[in-house]
A and B are shown apart, each in its own frame.
Chain A
Amino acid sequence: MPKKPDEILSILARDARATVQQIAKMTGRSAEEVRTAIAQYEQMGVIKRYKTIIDWEKTGAENVVAFIDVKVKPARDVGFEAVARRIYRFPEVKSVWLVSGDRDLRVVVEGPNIRKLGEFVAEKLATIDGVTETNTHFLLKRYKEDDDVFVDAEEDTRLVVTP
């Protein structure tokens, strides 16, 4: 069986702002122990960075997101790596995954509007050597992303005091 991940990590994954003191209390470890563990995780790159989940739509931002399935002709020696690298270096590209199935790379890109994103796909992405086909899906509505539900959340409807 795979090793159960450290509780410290699952706490931080849920709340990056949990303090060393809070985590120490939650896990029953000493603050010093927790501080050392976190420092090690950071050093090892297990913890890559701390970020905030923002519902940009609520801020009035109108960024456009597209999911692009890319078919790639793998090159000798480098496989998909070279193409993936050329793609992920663009700042517009948020995620790149190598996936199984009839497309090879799944790419997430973000831009200020559909026109700009379309231009990016047509001019930059589709023209990369080795890219033979792209299939673009624009995001229409965000329901749930990385554990967070972006639509109506369930409310706590329990009675205030129960036996």
Chain B
Amino acid sequence: MNKDRQPELPSLARTVTGLPPSGIRRFFDIAAKMQDVISLGVGEPDFATPWSIREEAIYSLEHGQTTYTSNYGLLELRSAIAAHISQLYDVQYDPESEILVTVGVSEGLDLAMRSILNPGDEVVVPEPCYVSYKPCIILAGGVPVTVRTTADTNFCVTPEQIEAVRTPKLKAILIGYPSNPTGATITRESMQKIVDYAQRHNLFIISDEIYDRLVYEGEHVCVSALHGAQERTILLNGFSKAYAMTGWRIGYACAPPSVLAAMVKIHAYTMLCAPIMGQKAALEALRHGDASLSEMVQQYNQRRRVIVDGLNSIGLECHMPQGAFYAFPKIVSTGLDAETFAERLLFEQRVAVVPGTAFGAGGEAHIRCSYATSIRNIEMAIERIGAFVQSLDRSDRRLRSITGSQ
């Protein structure tokens, strides 16, 4: 379109124009144009969807299964999800009234927020967190109240921190463990304390557990399994990470019937239903996907050890992440801020990482390194990052020798 001839249009929605653009977007734009980039910036598995799942979707297409499904999603799939959650976490959800198949966790999160928030209602969000948590709250008319977490406490939020920011408008707590970007998990005890707190102050808990199957140390704590949690929890999960199905856009939400009914109402008007091909594929994932899953988990775990060891060895202090597929090293030792570090690393050594600032407070002195890539790539990336860190050291020393400072 010719910019000069563009007519003046009515103004856009203030909620949207006020949203800051994603901090990740900018890096993508730069990195996408460069050659020979090793990317540790990818938030999705490097495995393709296991073939039996893809093949099932092809089969369903061949048989003309190209229609709408129930707003809730295929009952067969919801029943399989209920059985899956029951088997993994001993939590019972009624597939008829408590489970909704969504277009990824992203939609589930949006539905959850729009279902519970009135204008001005507040939601506590521990940071660093996934990039869409805060925008989803804002777009639903709510107010995100962030709580900063740090590596010293394994990025886990405490009731005391929430209490410090609580106002009468506080409606819900939004958490996501295992965490993107930190890879942190939360213990049963710590999570129970948050549940107890939510109970005491009558708050909803929205729990994004998309990385639940990618846990390498200890066990995943399903929030709904905790005492007193299920009745106030909106549990969000999906197939993207466990079964390498990001592009299929299939997730699910489990919630008490009244909350789920509200979510379904919005979903029915705005999305109608999740795509049937994806739902068929998801059903196959639940039936036969676990062998591929355990193979992927073993490989992620190997890469996790290699990348954390590598980062520490080049002087970037990195705690051991227990889940997901991200390492979240500190870069304070380099004296650079996260944005500058990530940008210079990309230009000088052609390694793409995401600055921790993209994930909010607590991320300033960190970068997110995804290890959803081959060991070979991880080793090469570590070499390059090491060279970059050393070049900083050298220029630092040169600077000191020039200025004569210590």
Contacts and interface: CB of A to CB of B under 8 A. Distances in A.
Interface of A: 7, 10-11, 22, 25-28, 154, 156, 158-163
Contacts of A27: 302, 305
B46 A11 contact: no
A95 to B, nearest CB: 26
Contact of B302 (A26, A156, A158, A160): A26
B302 A161 contact: no
| Residue of A22, A154, A162 with most partner-chain B CB within 10 A | A162
Contacts of B140: none
A160 B46 contact: no
Contact of B131 (A25, A159, A160, A163): A163
B306 interface: yes
A7 B39 CA distance: 27
A162 B31 contact: no
Contact of B375 (A26, A28, A160, A163): A26
B43 A163 contact: yes
B27 interface: yes
B298 A161 contact: no
Interface of B: 22, 24, 27-28, 31-32, 37, 39, 41-44, 46, 48, 130-132, 180, 298, 302-303, 305-306, 309-310, 352, 354, 375
A156 B354 contact: no
A163 B302 contact: no
B298 A160 contact: no
Contact of B306 (A10, A22, A161, A163): A22
B46 A161 contact: no
A128 B210 CA distance: 62
Given A26-B303, A161-B28, A162-B42, 10 more contacts: A10-B298, A26-B375, A154-B48, A158-B44, A160-B28, A160-B32, A160-B352, A162-B28, A163-B130, A163-B132
17 contacts: A7-B302, A10-B298, A11-B302, A22-B375, A25-B309, A26-B303, A26-B306, A28-B305, A154-B48, A156-B46, A159-B42, A160-B42, A161-B24, A161-B32, A162-B24, A162-B28, A163-B180
A7 B375 CA distance: 15
Contacts of A28: 305
Contacts of A159: 28, 32, 42
A161 B27 contact: yes
Contact of A25 (B43, B305, B352): B305
B22 A163 contact: yes
Given A160-B37, A160-B42, A162-B43, A7 B24 contact: no
Given A11-B302, A154-B48, A160 B41 contact: yes
Contacts of A162: 24, 28, 41-44
B55 to A, nearest CB: 14
Given A26-B305, A26-B375, A163 B298 contact: no
A92 to B, nearest CB: 35
Given A10-B298, A26-B375, A154-B48, A161 B305 contact: no
Contacts of B305: 25-28
Contact of B42 (A11, A25, A26, A158): A158
B303 to A, nearest CB: 8
Nearest to A29: B305
B254 to A, nearest CB: 23
Given A25-B309, A27-B302, A28-B305, A161 B39 contact: yes
Contacts of B27: 161
| Residue of A11, A158, A161, A163 with most partner-chain B CB within 10 A | A161
The 7 tightest CB contacts between A and B, nearest first, are A161-B41, A26-B302, A161-B28, A160-B31, A162-B43, A160-B39, A163-B131
Contacts of B309: 25
Contacts of A11: 302
A3 B170 CA distance: 51
A97 to B, nearest CB: 24
A156 B372 CA distance: 12
| Residue of A158, A160, A162 with most partner-chain B CB within 10 A | A160
Contacts of B298: 7, 10
Nearest to B308: A25
Contact of B31 (A10, A22, A161): A161
Given A11-B302, A22-B306, A158 B48 contact: no
